[in-house]
A and B are shown apart, each in its own frame.
Chain A
């Protein structure tokens, strides 16, 4: 059937199962926006294209489906780039459709022309410039296939305005799509090496990453851990992939992981890595990382194997498929001494834990997160921004289920939380969605409060407001002699700001108001922002300084406790 390029865009999206897109119109994408009115797709008008990209990202993370964002050429497309890079670093299946100037003027620095495929080359899994209406359908079909296949990621399709305006025959079934690489079979000797290492390990540890959720391997990972009696440490993006309440779950590893977890990694004689990439935030200094341990790496992306850490057995493939094929041969093991050793460390960690300490009338961010977890019974989808509050969330909000923590990992993108939460809520309207953001990051994308209201979304927002760019301030405290260069930050009155958007706003400055305010917000059935005025100069402990040995952690001072913390004027 004959369709315009603009119509073909939507024909393809509908065919791919897309019912929601996030975007912002403009000159070159106008033909597509005009055609959109004829199709059953809900368009969420954002306030800035970066928001659209994060919304598509949050939508994908919450649902497992492909998130889609649309923008015009030039500044529209360049505004997407932070969100695209974010999706790339965290392997989020997303498709970005951008308008481009007419093919006749390409390369002439026409109005709002930017080399978008050039700009996004290193931050997309793939991209394509479409100059001919006949290529639109095939390019979009291929884009969805690539976004989903193997290790997922963002794909951008840049379409010239004249291609969107022209007409051609639309025939979905004739487009080849993306076939992808056939799954590779595992090498027998690698499998045997892995099984032998598992059979002989005395101090094994599982390192579980984002890949557990991406491959839907939660059940088989749990079965493997139980059969081999192996404790499980999680990466930030792996949280939720293994139930926090499971006796084998240790919690988060790495820069702000619990001390006993990092010590266990350094003491382990076998690390079994599931769908993770040995990021520097996880390993600390590579030359001293887990020197006692043999390593098994099960990972879908062959280019991650041996990139940072030398491994003894590499099994390249989909985690769930690989583990399921391995399970019948995996030996049953017991490691009582190893578990006892880890328990010792846990007890010591607990003694320094801020949760075990009295608040003495002051509001500590960790307590806020802990209370939020208690009030929501751990059942909310929490979408965080980046910084101290993010690490406190990871430490004190116990995630039982996959896709309940949505956070910017690899890129560490401030401003992610609010738009990503909008995407998550649209993907899962029945879920309770909480934004947890700092006062700094929240201000980067707070314009999306308007989008939230426009879509009538019941999202709760907890601002962990300490008057500083807290994580940077913490680095300045530890490593730059407390010279607080450009980290104190002025914020608006967030309660009034919420009110301006028609959103309920509350301010909380005392611990005993936390749970009642959270409960009231939950019961209200409407979007609510809570401004938690927390201690200004509190730090996230423990901390592995960047580039230091993994077990060289800065611990919470034992005696200093909360008395030494600054009190808000």
Chain B
């Protein structure tokens, strides 16, 4: 079973190596891990997809919370979320096929972002299933190169969330 954990962490040197070191040391299985900025410059957000076959997600979260720079961890797997993954796919494409590939990308709300003599780069954003769907269609044409960002996630709705920087913290210039 895959679980999606979202962590709010202090934006400081070494925080990523602490998190990845924990996963390595405890033999937790990471599917994807993304890290980047948040609404507050002093904090970063991580979205971690873990395989919980060996270790329950609650135990992974409890271990993450022990890391001092980790402020909060929420398992959003069973919560309403917006989830996105981005892929850049370089696919073989003769000039005569460009329109067809662009059309395919369009169905998945992707687009062609670069064109070479015998290939194009398709950019597509969405949840993992959508990306997999497009990849399945492009694969027979020959995927030359591919990169995916891994999943990022945010809770839907307006309910307050401990993943957000509080108004007080933001006021303090966090």
Partners in one complex: yes
Q: Is the CB–CB distance between A303 and B68 below 8 Å?
A: no
Contacts of B13 in A (CB 8 A): 129
Stretch at the interface among B17-25, B39-47, B83-91, B97-105: B17-25
Contacts of A125 in B (CB 8 A): 66, 68
Q: Is the CB–CB distance between A302 and B62 below 8 Å?
A: yes
Complex CA distance for A8 and B154, rounded to whole angstroms: 43
CB A298 to nearest CB in B, in angstroms, measures: 15
Q: Is the CB–CB distance between A305 and B21 below 8 Å?
A: no
Complex CA distance for A181 and B68, rounded to whole angstroms: 10
Q: Is the CB–CB distance between A146 and B62 below 8 Å?
A: no
Q: Is the CB–CB distance between A121 and B21 below 8 Å?
A: yes
Q: Is the CB–CB distance between B56 and A121 below 8 Å?
A: no
In the complex, A301 has a CB within 8 A of chain B: yes
Q: Is the CB–CB distance between A122 and B25 below 8 Å?
A: yes
Q: Is the CB–CB distance between A305 and B62 below 8 Å?
A: yes
Instruction: Give the size of the chain A interface in residues (CB under 8 angstroms).
Output: 16
- Residues of A41-56 whose CB lies within 8 A of B: none
* Candidates B17, B21, B25, B63; contact of A303 at CB < 8 Å: B63
Q: Is the CB–CB distance between B14 and A117 below 8 Å?
A: yes
Q: Is the CB–CB distance between A303 and B62 below 8 Å?
A: yes
Complex CA distance for A181 and B64, rounded to whole angstroms: 13
Contacts of A40 in B (CB 8 A): none
Beta-carbon contacts of A286-310 to B below 8 Å, as 1s and 0s?
A: 0000000000000001110111000
In the complex, A126 has a CB within 8 A of chain B: yes
Given contacts A117-B14, A146-B68, contact A122 B21 (CB under 8 A): yes
Q: Is the CB–CB distance between A307 and B59 below 8 Å?
A: yes
In the complex, B130 has a CB within 8 A of chain A: no
CB A45 to nearest CB in B, in angstroms, measures: 32
Complex CA distance for A117 and B66, rounded to whole angstroms: 17
Complex CA distance for A303 and B25, rounded to whole angstroms: 14
In the complex, the chain B residue whose C-beta lies closest to that of A121 is: B21
Instruction: Give the size of the chain B interface in residues (CB under 8 angstroms).
Output: 15
* Candidates B18, B58, B63; contact of A121 at CB < 8 Å: B18
Among A146, A301, A302, max chain B CB count under 10 A is at A302
* Candidates A121, A178, A306; contact of B59 at CB < 8 Å: A306
Contacts of A126 in B (CB 8 A): 67-68
Question: B-side binding surface: helix, strand, loop or mixed?
Answer: helix
Contacts of A303 in B (CB 8 A): 59, 62-63, 65-66
Q: Is the CB–CB distance between B21 and A301 below 8 Å?
A: no
Complex CA distance for A302 and B63, rounded to whole angstroms: 8
CB B65 to nearest CB in A, in angstroms, measures: 7
Complex CA distance for A142 and B62, rounded to whole angstroms: 21
Q: Is the CB–CB distance between B58 and A301 below 8 Å?
A: no
Complex CA distance for A139 and B24, rounded to whole angstroms: 27
Complex CA distance for A129 and B13, rounded to whole angstroms: 9
Q: Is the CB–CB distance between B17 and A121 below 8 Å?
A: yes
Contacts of B21 in A (CB 8 A): 121-122
Contacts of B67 in A (CB 8 A): 126
In the complex, the chain A residue whose C-beta lies closest to that of B21 is: A121
Contacts of B59 in A (CB 8 A): 303, 306-307
Contacts of B62 in A (CB 8 A): 301-303, 305
- Residues of A166-191 whose CB lies within 8 A of B: 178, 181
In the complex, the chain B residue whose C-beta lies closest to that of A123 is: B25
Complex CA distance for A181 and B25, rounded to whole angstroms: 24
- Residues of A320-369 whose CB lies within 8 A of B: none
Contacts of B18 in A (CB 8 A): 121
* Candidates B14, B17, B25, B56; contact of A306 at CB < 8 Å: B56
Beta-carbon contacts of B25-47 to A below 8 Å, as 1s and 0s?
A: 10000000000000000000000
Complex CA distance for A301 and B67, rounded to whole angstroms: 12
In the complex, the chain B residue whose C-beta lies closest to that of A310 is: B56
CB B27 to nearest CB in A, in angstroms, measures: 12
Complex CA distance for A303 and B22, rounded to whole angstroms: 12
Among B13, B58, B68, max chain A CB count under 10 A is at B68
In the complex, the chain B residue whose C-beta lies closest to that of A153 is: B66
Contacts of B63 in A (CB 8 A): 303
Contacts of A117 in B (CB 8 A): 14
Complex CA distance for A302 and B65, rounded to whole angstroms: 9
Contacts of A122 in B (CB 8 A): 21, 25
CB A117 to nearest CB in B, in angstroms, measures: 7
A-binding residues in B (CB < 8 A):
13-14, 17-18, 21, 25, 56, 58-59, 62-63, 65-68
Lowest 7 CB-CB distances: which A-B pairs, in order? A303-B62, A302-B62, A126-B68, A303-B63, A122-B25, A121-B21, A303-B66
Other contacts beyond A117-B14, A303-B66: 17, CB < 8 A: A118-B17, A121-B17, A122-B21, A122-B25, A125-B66, A125-B68, A129-B13, A129-B14, A146-B68, A178-B68, A181-B65, A302-B65, A303-B59, A303-B62, A303-B65, A306-B56, A307-B59
A–B pairs, 18, beta carbons within 8 Å: A118-B17, A121-B17, A121-B21, A125-B66, A129-B13, A129-B14, A178-B68, A181-B65, A301-B62, A301-B66, A302-B62, A303-B59, A303-B62, A303-B63, A303-B65, A303-B66, A306-B56, A306-B59
